[in-house]
Chain A
């Protein structure tokens, strides 16, 4: 059982990492981003190419940078026209971009499953006394904890975070006060994308990759965000950990329901508290 709880916690941190960018972008920009999975898979492929030529750490560093640049270009070229539009329009444009990304990756890399050639230490496992657990997963989990703290500080302690949080409440007033809401919004969008790209590269030594993987990760990340409360930073953290533990424990007692359980959990949360566990955006309230 302790091994199973640890597994649920680490698995939950993976969900947290995937959902974090999604919830930040929604909470701060009010943007429903269906291209989040596409950012994940671009990161995975950039990581793959760089890892094959340079090394895993270089791949993990290069992926978020490349994805952030892609997101900035996407934002300039298309997305900023949709910030003030209704969610349906946002969903359509981001979903469209996700399909274009998937098919472009299929053209470049074909649809064949790829796996990272990883250093030997990634293959090892650590004896924790109560269980033996893969070293890489432990490193990944610790990395996510650091990441969560860093992102929280960025949003709370930097001018970008301040401007965007204020901009959501009263865009005109912030602009009159000299705040560049547009630029700050782009930075936040790029940050959300970079997080997905980083997870894409960092998680790929664990999971195989193929162009369709972005959509596969999009669904659970939305489930996590909905459980936690759309736009809520700590909601995504709690939602991710909850989903991870639920899946891990279900695999112990009723493994066939391990996929189903997260949707049941989402339905129950929505029935009891339709706005999710943390309700309205905690980020905005700061």
Chain B
């Protein structure tokens, strides 16, 4: 639901007169006790990453309704202000500004693109508003573009590449690698990390075709890939773009002639590609099937999600859900809505949510938690339980600490306020 304050003419004039009178009389206006806390949910509802945005909104709604039913945050109910960022940095920034300035949001959350996350992080830093960045996987969000008011729990490209490296070399060998990469911050980040871990081991990069976000027809790049006869085709695309790229790669016969790597995937990308995702290696921070079997809190979340929406949550949805609870926890532990007090309580905070014990790293505000290396399984082997979403088997689980960017090489120069 979009929360919009629409005063009628009388309220507007009355409010204006009262505000003017208070200003000119030099009165210190003390705000009435707050009954609601507005949080801004800034996700793509249209465009290439809209499936991921929609699933995050489902998770936000679940978390917010649960929290409100249990008495809210410090006795105050949560209210949503929702914006469609269209996976465009300019739109995401304007949404965040509107949420903060017009709707009075005290926290912004959302994402699906590192491009939008970096932009929203910047405006939140300017406005001194907490930004819980959800689905953003490029290193920048908590590396060179890190900010004091931003926290990101989702795995990043550095973690994915380090987690996958050994599996890739064992399963795919070194050989000749052809890359199709989304031409923006995230794609560049993933590509750079893969090159860093693969080329020193002998992998040869034949070509990297950078295509604009929102590309629907990958045939020209796939024609080049086919002519190059690579051993491995790396599709660093996300959302609908990846669905189109992989399905079209299958039509070109590339899923048979080459091994396929999709560095980051989620349940909706797997659903859109079906059997074409079989044997594809990928990474993710959360997989509903795996975590629900291992962790009671994950099971509870997955069951609640399925009960409400009829389908399991994607990994982005889990992140959105946990981010809301982490923010609530930070506010309650600090006993204040003051961002500085909240941040002090978050930095270094250890907690257990839907995974193994994890924590928020103080120097860059990156959430340190595990990274899964997974491999797609054919539809026929997925069983009867939500086969479209039960897309993979977990090959390895990497401890977050061991694959994260070390402080010694981090480019994060976080502000002190």
B226 touches A113 (CB 8 A): no
Q: Interface readout for A208-240 with B: 1 if CB under 8 Å, 0 if not?
A: 101010001000000000000000000000000
Q: A131 on the interface (CB 8 Å rule)?
A: yes
Min CB distance, B130 to chain A, in Å? Answer: 28
- Tell me, rounded to whole Å, the shortest Cβ–Cβ distance linking A178 to chain B: 47
Asked if A277 lies at the interface with its beta carbon under 8 angstroms from chain B, I say: no
The number of chain A residues with a CB under 8 A from chain B is: 41
Let me know if A252 and B224 touch, CB within 8 A: yes
Min CB–CB distance B266 → chain A (angstroms): 12
A259 to B215, CA, bound (A): 8
Whether, in the assembled complex, B47 has its beta carbon less than 8 Å from a beta carbon of chain A, the answer is: yes
Which A residues touch B47, using CB under 8 A? Answer: 212
Residue B220 interfacial (CB < 8 Å): yes
Chain A residues near B216: list those with CB within 8 A.
Answer: 207-208, 216
Option from B51, B220, B227 in Cβ contact (under 8 Å) with A112: B51
Q: Assuming A113-B51, A208-B272, A256-B211, is B223 touching A136 (CB within 8 A)?
A: no
Q: Is A258 interfacial (CB-CB < 8 Å)?
A: yes
In the complex, chain A residues 247-274 whose Cβ is within 8 Å of any chain B Cβ: 247-248, 251-252, 255-256, 258-260
Q: How far is the CA of A260 from the CA of B51 in the complex (A)?
A: 25
Q: A125-B251, A251-B224, A255-B210 are in contact. Are A11 and B217 (CB under 8 A)?
A: yes
Number of residue pairs A-B, CB distance < 8 angstroms: 117
Chain A CB within 8 A of B381 CB: no
Cβ A206 vs Cβ B220 within 8 A: no
Other-chain contact of A123, B215, B217, B250 (Cβ < 8 Å) = B250
Partner of A134, one of B243, B252, B274: B252
Q: Closest approach, in angstroms, between the C-beta of A145 and any C-beta of chain B?
A: 18
Q: In the complex the two chains form, is A207's CB within 8 Å of B210's CB?
A: no
Segment at the B interface, from A1-9, A146-154, A179-187? A1-9
Report the separation of the CA atoms of residues A95 and B51 in the bound assembly, to the nearest whole angstrom: 24
Inside 8 A of A134's CB, which chain B residues have their CB? 219, 248, 251-253
CA–CA, A207 and B227, complex, Å = 22
CA distance A247 to B211 in the complex (A): 11
Are B240 and A3 in contact, with the CB atoms below 8 A?
Answer: no
* Distance in angstroms between the alpha carbons of A136 and B252 in the assembled complex: 10
User: Do B223 and A210 have beta carbons less than 8 Å apart?
Assistant: no
A258 touches B220 (CB 8 A): yes
Question: Is B46 a contact partner of A212 (Cβ separation < 8 A)?
Answer: yes
B residues within 8 A CB of A115?
243, 247, 272-274
Complex Cα distance, B268 from A210, in Å, reads 13
Q: Which residues of A contact B226 (CB under 8 A)?
A: 3, 131-132
Find B212's partner among A113, A122, A206, A258 (CB 8 Å cutoff).
A258
Which of A110, A131, A258 gathers most chain B CB within 10 Å?
A: A258
A78 to chain B, nearest CB (A): 26
Q: CB distance A248 to B220 under 8 Å?
A: yes
Cβ–Cβ < 8 Å partners of A14 in chain B: 217
Within 229-252 of B, Cβ neighbours of A (below 8 Å) are at 239-240, 243-244, 247-248, 250-252
Q: Given A115-B274, A259-B215, check contact A207 B223 (CB 8 Å).
A: no
Contacts A131-B226, A212-B46, A255-B210 hold; do A113 and B220 have CB atoms under 8 A apart? no
Task: Tell me whether B214 is interfacial, beta carbon within 8 Å.
Answer: yes
- A284 CB to nearest chain B CB (Å): 32
Report the contact-size class of chain B (Cβ under 8 Å from the partner). Answer: 35 or more
For window 300-337 of chain B, which residues contact chain A by CB distance below 8 Å? none
Do the beta carbons of B220 and A256 come within 8 Å of each other?
A: no
Q: Is the CB of B220 within 8 A of A252?
A: yes
Q: Within A141-169, which residues are at the interface with B (CB < 8 Å)? A: none
Q: Does any Cβ of A come within 8 Å of B45's Cβ?
A: yes
A136–B215 CB distance below 8 A: no
Question: Please, how many angstroms separate the alpha-carbon atoms of A240 and B417 in the complex?
Answer: 54
Contact B211 A258 (CB under 8 A): yes
Interface residues of B in 67-117 (CB under 8 A from A): none
**CB proximity of B172 to chain A, nearest CB, Å:** 22
Q: What is the bound-complex CA distance between A266 and B239, given in angstroms?
A: 29
A114 CA to B210 CA, complexed, in Å? 25
Give the residue of B212, B217, B223, B272 whose beta carbon is less than 8 angstroms from that of A256.
Answer: B212
A255 vs B217: C-alpha distance in the bound complex, in angstroms?
12
Bound complex: CA A219 to CA B239 (Å): 21
Known A7-B223, A132-B226, A216-B216; contact A256-B183, beta-carbon cutoff 8 A: yes
Report whether A113 and B240 are in contact in the complex, using a CB–CB cutoff of 8 Å. Answer: yes
A11 to B50: give the CA distance in the assembly, Å: 25
Complex CA gap A212/B216 in Å reads: 13
Cβ of B203 under 8 Å from chain A: no
Asked if A137 is at the interface (CB within 8 A of a chain B CB), the reply is yes
Which chain B residue shows the least CB distance to A211?
Answer: B46
Q: Is the CB of A11 within 8 A of B219?
A: yes
The yes or no answer to A111 lying at the interface (CB within 8 A) is yes
Contact B220 A247 (CB under 8 A): yes
Interface centre among A110, A136, A137 (most CB of B within 10 A): A137
A124 interface hit (Cβ, 8 Å) = yes
Residues of B near A11 (CB, < 8 A) are 217, 219-220
Task: Tell whether A16 is near chain B: CB-to-CB under 8 Å.
Answer: no
Contact with B along A10-36 (1 / 0, CB 8 A): 110010000000000000000000000
* Docked pose: A247 CA to B227 CA in angstroms: 18
Chain B 257-300: CB-based contact to A (< 8 A → 1; otherwise 0): 00000000000100111100000000000000000000000000
Q: Are A206 and B240 in contact (CB under 8 A)?
A: no
**Complex Cα gap A259–B221 (Å):** 13
10 tightest A-B contacts by CB?
A251-B220, A134-B251, A125-B253, A248-B220, A7-B223, A259-B212, A255-B209, A3-B223, A256-B183, A256-B210
Please list the residues of chain A having a beta carbon within 8 angstroms of any beta carbon in chain B.
Answer: 3-4, 6-8, 10-11, 14, 110-115, 117, 122-125, 131-137, 206-208, 210, 212, 216, 247-248, 251-252, 255-256, 258-260
13 contacts between A and B (CB under 8 A): A3-B224, A4-B223, A4-B224, A14-B217, A111-B54, A115-B272, A131-B226, A134-B248, A247-B217, A251-B209, A251-B220, A251-B221, A258-B211
B residues sitting closer than 8 Å to A (CB atoms) are 45-47, 50-51, 54, 183, 209-212, 214-217, 219-221, 223-224, 226-227, 239-240, 243-244, 247-248, 250-253, 268, 271-274
With A134-B248, A212-B46 given, name 15 new contacts (CB 8 A): A7-B219, A7-B223, A11-B217, A14-B217, A111-B50, A115-B247, A122-B251, A125-B252, A134-B251, A207-B217, A248-B223, A255-B209, A255-B220, A258-B212, A260-B212
